[in-house]
Homo-oligomer: A and B are copies of this chain.
Amino acid sequence: MGKKSKLNDLACFQVYTLHHAFGRYYQAAFAESGLTYAKYIILKALATQSQMSLSELSQGVGVEPNTISPLAKKMATYGVIERVRDAEDERRIVLRLTEYGIQVLKAADEVVAENFADLGISDNDAKQAIALISRIRSAVEKAKPSRLNLPQAPPNVQDGLPD
């Protein structure tokens, strides 16, 4: 048995699973609408400020800028966000919710809030989880990955099905 780490267990069995459970819920709820989990999160993040650069948004959402870039482009063509170059600094892209985007976000928020209302998770539970997870995330972002060295591979057994 390898060394034990409760934080590792948390990551592999709880956070991973919960993330995908949420993902399946949002995917089902937004099906056919063109909205997705990722795009919904972007809308929510953009709603916290009047405008944001692409990298500020990526910080807010917690993913890399190259993940946001194509999504923002698509969302602009859908009309939910405005996407323009910053006149002050032509490298920057400035993003902002459109009036339509605000309406879409509102409609989505309503549906989700309704679906999540009677699941037995109180606001206090959720708040506690928010505080705890927030702390854990800060910690994990500080982790310095050391390279894994794998043991010698075995004499290629290939014990299995042809395909």
Residues of B within 8 A of A116 (CB): 5, 7-8, 140, 143
- Provided the pairs A15-B15, A83-B160 are in contact, do residues A130 and B6 lie with their beta carbons within 8 angstroms? yes
Residues A114 and B73 in contact, CB atoms below 8 Å apart = no
A41 at the interface (CB under 8 A from B): yes
A43: min CB distance to chain B, Å: 10
Residue from the list B98, B120, B148 in contact with A33, Cβ < 8 A: B148
SS class, residues of chain A in contact with chain B: helix
Residues B128 and A132 in contact, CB atoms below 8 Å apart = yes
> Count of chain A residues with Cβ under 8 Å from any Cβ of B?
106
Residues of B within 8 A of A130 (CB): 6, 9-10, 13-14
Against B, the Cβ 8 Å flags (1 = close, 0 = not) of A111-134 are: 111111101110101111110111
Q: Footprint of B on A, CB under 8 Å?
A: 1-22, 25-26, 28-35, 37, 40-41, 44-45, 61-63, 73, 76-79, 82-85, 93, 98-100, 103-117, 119-121, 123, 125-130, 132-137, 139-151, 153-154, 156-161, 163
